[in-house]
Structure formats: structure tokens, C-alpha cells
Amino acid sequence: MKILILVSLLVLAPGVRAQQVGLITNTEARKTTSLDGQWQVIVDPYESGYYDYRYQPSDNGYFKNAKPKSKSDLIEYDFDKSATLKVPGDWNTQTDQLFFYEGTVWYKKSFDYQRRPDTRVFVYFGAANYLADVYLNGEKLGRHEGGFTPFNFEITKLVRDTGNFLVVKVDNKRRLDAVPTLMTDWWNYGGITRDVELIETPTTFVQDYMVQLQRGSRDHVSGWIKLAGEKLSQRITVRIPEAGVSRSFTADGNGLATIDFNADLKLWSPENPKLYEVFIEAETDRVRDLIGFRSIETRGTDILLNGRPIFLRGVCIHDEAPLRGGRAYSREDAVTLLSWAKELGANFVRLAHYPHNEFMIREADRMGIMVWSEIPVYWTIQWENPATLENARNQLSEVIARDKNRAAIVIWSMANETPLSDARLAFLRNLISHARSLDPTRLLSAAMERHYLDAKTQMIDDPLGEFLDVLGCNEYVGWYDGLPEKADGLEWKTKYEKPLVMSEFGGEAQFGNHGDALTRWTEEYQANVYEHQIGMLKRIPFLRGTSPWILMDFRSPRRPLPGIQDYWNRKGLVSDRGEKKKAFYIMQRWYRELQ
Ligand code: GCB
């Protein structure tokens, strides 16, 4: 049933989710009121604010934000006397007590809001990890699953001029059936990790749109615009003043207008990341966006940007804050990380292993850095579970909805290092066709594994490769697989006539730890890995991109080695303090050669 509803909504409008009004995209263009700041919180490991003592959902949970009405009233919680946490932000790095915590925390924010006449109001969350139950003034607005994508709920009828209280139960317990599942190599930062805003719109408004060059074309813009509200059949004009474009379309009875026109555009590229002001003007609403136009295709083993072969000089990045640690959430975080990538010589970043905060994509657009964006279908997902598939599809829908107008995004990646099986192939093929239906313009990839045909030959023949545009492959020759020199004698083969991005390689080093080139954890060993990797990579005829693992050290519970790791994965080219390791300069030298 649920699937049917989802499918019928997708028929109505690509990119629109089965959740009330669907995701409102481009919040930058909206009248917003920030709810960031300190929120009162109750840590609730037993979820007694949600379940009663028979473990049944309670009608009188903490979402009621109750206060004793008389001196004899019994109420065992009080948000207003509770501790606070900053939103946006993970809870783990805000207080030592919550560093390893996985479970429920209740958040409460009080606010006043004067809604203007003839408007609608939504509460918008950039992300909450992992499961969020949202309540306003004691009423449930809904639930969202997935730790890295945005969601919104309408509050027009519930919001009052004064004394509102928004309560969010955030639960980051890992689950076998979730996406990601129990095992990952990154920190399970919990909390409301991205901005929270109230968005005010006209009663009928531009909810979402796609304005992009048609696949394969450099002058033909096509896409769609979706209105939400009561007056759906409206005339909508798309204007790109700098390119002399002004074209009108009429939305159908479902509020959907398909758009199509030719335009003479300066194309977006890393050398010239041109963004145009684009206006979408309906009768009842108007939004402005900054959109770049470029084409991205493959031909044989080549990747073509604007019709020309390009090599993706990349690096992997986690959505972790430089210098202060914890989840990244700000424009400054994005600028710092992407500036380091640029300094490395990168024109490309792989944003691992889940959708990063929107500033990363917006800044990549502005700075001219191509992006590989991925969903947390990582390692061992429950391939046979329909709910897991629906969850993964929904996370994919949400990230595509948010970022589909960003020129920087060139690749959607479906998965990382997933073990071969028929069920897994069926699951990933389902995601691939879903991605293609939502966005026919991007290339699709996945980080796959490889295997040895013999001691000297590496083979990429994962059956998934047949369905991807770009092959991604992770390998750790010199780290998990032999010593650095092993790379020298290796030859690479593939079953598919397609471009390869070596989506991971590398090794760990603690910044400032020195020794000889065969002593683990030293900068010299890591540099040695890179020297031999580069030699090997240069010899792969179908290689069209690389993204070494990883730009910066990141936290991982799987990395306890005292004095070296201390719960950090040390494969960064830069330490968590921003110090560049020797391997950074080796990679930089190669990228300079390639430029
Ligand atoms: C991998 C994973 C990545 C890990 C990395 C490592 O293959 O894709 O998430 O962090 O290896 O450091 O082992």
C-alpha cells in the first residue's frame, strides 16, 4: 500500500516524496525564521518519555511538555529546568557524558510566531540523526527516518502567535534493518545536526523544481516545476536575465509544469564555475536560485564535462568539522574542507558515505568542485527487507530533491563496498532505476570491490558494473593488502568498457609520528603507500578519476589503538587539527602534474 502511494506521487511529480507537502527545496529563497540556538534536552535511554511501563506508546509523553497544575501534581520531567544543547550540532561532542551515547534525546524549543495572512508555515530540519519524531504544541507532526537528509512538516494550523513548543525525539540507536545498518566505520553522531527553520510560503507556492541542461545537450534546458496549494493551474515564467531567457509555461491540475527551452549559456566548469540567477515566477509565488549549467556524460572509458574528456582529481571527505571535530554544519566548515581539497589540486570530491550538509554542495558549486554524492547503503544492508529498500529509496529521493539543481553534483552513488549476492543486485538495481527516474542527467556509480585473478592481476567484474555509468572501486593495496611495494607489479582489468574512479585507497598515519617507510602509523609509511599507488594508478588505461581515502582524520569507534588512533581513523591527508601529512604533498605533486 505504502509503495503504491509512493509510486502514484512519483507519477505526479518526480522528486516529490510521500510525506504531506513533500520537501521544500531551496530554502535560501524563502522567508525563514531560524530556530537554531540552545534547546532544552532530556536524555532518555529507556524512552520513558515515549513508552509507558508496559512498553506501550504513551499519550502523555514528554512531547506534552506538561507542567504541574497544582502543588500535588506528579510530573517527573521538566524541560525548562533541563540542560541545553546547541542546534545545529551533534550531542556527542557537546558534553563528555554523551560522547558514546546511542539512544533517545528529547529536544524542546519554545518560540513565538506571527504568521502573516494568506501564508503557510512549515518547520524544516536540515537533518536529525537518525529517527526523529516531531511534535508541535503537544500534537504529533510526523516521523522522519534517515540521518542525513532534510524534511519538513506543515504547522500552519497548529502554530500560535505566542507560546509554541516544538518537541523532537531524536533516536540514534543503530538497527540491523536501518540504512546504514549496525556496522560502519564512522561515528554515529546523534542529534539535530543541521539547521532548523520555520519557512513561510504563500498559500500556493513553488515547492520544487528542476532546471538543468538535458542529458547530452549544452544548450537545451529541460525540467519541471511543482506547485503545492489550491491554485495549481498557474502560469509560471522561468527567467534567466543574464542569458536573456524568459519563458512561460502552464502548470497542470496537479501543479506540475514541464519546461523546455534553448538557451545560449556559459557552461559551468571547475575553471569557470559560472552560476546564473534563475527566477521562477508563478502567479502566487516567486523564488530565486543560483544555477550552473554543464553537461556530464561518458563515452567509452571517458568522462566528458561539457563535451571534453576530464580526469576527476578528487579526494574523499566525511561530513566532519575541521578543527573543532563533530558533525560539520556550517558554511565555514564547508569552505575550510573544500579549500584544503583545492590546495591538494582537486577538481572533484567524493562526499562519503551519506549526504553531506547543503553548504558543502552550495560551496562546491561556487568554488568549481565536482561532487560525488552518496547514500549510506554501506557494507551489509538487509537486501531482502522491503522496508530497508523503501528507506534507502526515500533517502535517495530526498538527497536528489535537495541537490538536483547543483551543477557541482556529477555523480550519484548508490552504495559502498557491498558484498555480492542476487538480493543485493536486485536492491541496487532498484535504486539505480529510481535515481534515473528522478534525475536522468547525472552519472550513476557505486564504490565496488575487486578481486585477484592471479597474484598480479586485479579484476573489476562486479555484476553491478553493467548498470552503472562510472565504475567506482575501493582498494587498499599497501595497507590491508600487502605492503606498499605490492602495487608496483599489479595490472588492472575490467569487464566493462567504462570509466573507472578509484574511489578509495590510502593508509593511516598519525601526524608527527615519524619512522622509516615500512613502519606502520608513520607519515613515512603513509607517504610510501601513496608513492606506490600513484605509480600503479598511472598504469591503469581506463582510470578517469581518483579519490584517496581521505582528506581529514575522522572519528570511528572501530579504531581504538591507544596513542595512535584513540578512536580516530588516521587515514587523513590532513590531521583533525588541520596539519598536513607528508602524503598530502605527494598527492598534490601528482595532481599538479595532471593539471
Ligand atoms: C573502506 C570504507 C571506509 C573506511 C575505510 C577504512 O573501505 O569504505 O568507510 O573508513 O575503508 O579506513 O578502512
Q: Whose CA is nearest to atom 13 of ligand 1?
A: 185
> Which residue has its alpha carbon closest to ligand 1 atom 10?
185
CB 181 within 8 A of CB 378: yes
**Nearest atom of ligand 1 to the alpha carbon of 474:** 7
Q: Which helix (H) or strand (E) holds 357?
A: none
Q: What are phi and psi of 359, to 5 degrees?
A: -60, -35
User: Which residue in the block uniquely carries the three cell numbers 613502519?
Assistant: 519
Q: Are strands 491-494 and 457-460 parallel, antiparallel or unpaired?
A: parallel
Matching residue, cell 520544487: 208
Cis peptide upstream of residue 180 (ω within 30 degrees of 0): yes
Mutate to test the pocket of ligand 1, among 529, 549, 559 (most ligand atoms within 8 A of CB): 549
pTM confidence score: 0.96
Return per-residue pLDDT of the chain as tens, 595 residues: 344 344 334 333 333 333 478 999 999 999 999 999 999 999 999 999 999 999 999 999 999 999 999 999 999 999 999 999 999 999 999 999 999 999 999 999 999 999 999 999 999 999 999 999 999 999 999 999 999 999 999 999 999 999 999 999 999 999 999 999 999 999 999 999 999 999 999 999 999 999 999 999 999 999 999 999 999 999 999 999 999 999 999 999 999 999 999 999 999 999 999 999 999 999 999 999 999 999 999 999 999 999 999 999 999 999 999 999 999 999 999 999 999 999 999 999 999 999 999 999 999 999 999 999 999 999 999 999 999 999 999 999 999 999 999 999 999 999 999 999 999 999 999 999 999 999 999 999 999 999 999 999 999 999 999 999 999 999 999 999 999 999 999 999 999 999 999 999 999 999 999 999 999 999 999 999 999 999 999 999 999 999 999 999 999 999 999 999 999 999 999 999 999 999 999 999 999 999 9
Cα 541 to the center of its chain, rounded Å: 31
- CA 349, CA 372: separation in Å to the nearest integer? 6
Contact assessment for residue 21 and residue 152, using Cβ atoms and an 8 Å cutoff: yes
What kind and span of H or E run contains 474? strand 471-474
Q: Alpha helices of 455-518 — where are they, by DSSP H?
A: none
Are the beta carbons of 19 and 5 closer than 8 angstroms? no
Q: What DSSP string runs through 209-260?
A: EEEEEPTT-SSEEEEEEEEESS--S-EEEEEEGGGTEEEEEE--TTSEEEEE
Report the nearest-CA residue for atom 3 of ligand 1.
Answer: 185
> Does residue 390 sit in helix, strand or coil?
helix
Residues in contact with ligand 1 by the CB-under-6-Å rule are: 185, 353, 416-417, 474, 504, 549, 569, 571
Q: For residue 487, give the DSSP letter.
A: G
Residue 571 CA, ligand 1 centroid: distance in Å: 9
User: Three-state SS for 208?
Assistant: strand
Three-state secondary-structure class, residue 348: strand
C-alpha span between 101 and 162 (Å, rounded): 34
Give the 3-state secondary structure percentages of the chain, helix then strand then coil, rounded to 5: 20, 30, 45
Which residue has its alpha carbon closest to ligand 1 atom 7?
474
Residue with cell 527487507: 385
For residue 508, how far is its CA from the centre of ligand 1 (angstroms)?
A: 11
Separation CA 355–CA 395 (nearest Å):
9
